[in-house]
Structure 1
Amino acid sequence: MSPPYTFFADLNQESMPLEDGILSRTIHQDDRSKAVLFTFAAGQELSEHTASTPAILQFISGEAALTLGSETLDARAGTFAHMPAGLTHAIRANTPTVMLLLLLKGASAPPAGS
């Protein structure tokens, strides 16, 4: 029987160094949330997109340019960002970067015009 929790002592240990590309791995999923660990090689980018649920980004290591809406911000180990559903965003890794994405299920994009 598996324990009723998910535990990782060090998310950096769960990532794999990459020479090129982006690796994503779901490390937890239930009916209310999904946690995805992303590893980016330097120079890799997730182009502009939106999510249908609110999301949280937690940068574990590295340095990246994080675009939220029309603003581009510097992200590094310790950076936290909460995004409402439907917000346009993008990520470009300046160095090898590890990031945790938490998708918060059960919430949706705000109604059009709000």
Structure 2
Amino acid sequence: MSSPSYTYFADLNRESMPLEDGILSRTIHQDDRTKAVLFTFAAGQELSEHTASAPAILQFIAGEATLTLGPDALDARAGTFAQMPAGLTHAIRARTPTIMLLILLKNTHNS
């Protein structure tokens, strides 16, 4: 649900679609300060090592994955939270079907 003043989802699990293969991303909110993207990964799928131009927050909603932040390979599952600065190398590999929310923090230098 969306209104001029807010965006609301009662259950992000219901906003994702089960996948046999691949990765699906869907922007669920965007304004001049933030962009929220819901990712659904099929088991075994991976976002290979990359960087983001803005600070970001990752919130894992469901599933199990390996989250690489810089040189560290970390377990991620429902409830895992990670914050990372712009430019940090990172990757995600889903071990099971996984749902993750990415929040990009745009224009942080104009606070």
TM-score (norm 1): 0.92
Are 1:106 and 2:98 an aligned pair?
no
Report percent identity of matched pairs.
Answer: 84
Specify every segment of 5 or more residues in structure 1 that has no aligned partner in the other structure, as ranges. 109-114
Q: Which runs of 4+ in 1 moved over 6 A?
A: none
Pairs within 5 Å for 1:15-94: 15-94=16-95
* 1:107, distance to aligned residue in structure 2 (A): 3.1
Please give the alpha-carbon distance, in whole angstroms, between the structure 1 residues aligned to 2:91 and 2:40: 15
Please give the alpha-carbon distance, in whole angstroms, between the structure 1 residues aligned to 2:34 and 2:4: 18
Specify every segment of 5 or more residues in structure 2 that has no aligned partner in the other structure, as ranges. none
* 1:93, distance to aligned residue in structure 2 (A): 0.1
CA RMSD, Structure 1 to Structure 2 (Å): 0.9
Please give the alpha-carbon distance, in whole angstroms, between the structure 2 residues aligned to 1:22 and 1:13: 16
* 1:41, distance to aligned residue in structure 2 (A): 0.0
Please give the alpha-carbon distance, in whole angstroms, between the structure 2 residues aligned to 1:60 and 1:39: 10
Q: How many residues align?
A: 107
* 1:4, distance to aligned residue in structure 2 (A): 1.2
* 1:103, distance to aligned residue in structure 2 (A): 0.1
Q: Tell me the amino acid that sits aligned with residue 45 of structure 1.
A: E
Contact 2:33–2:108, Cα closer than 8 Å, also in 1: no
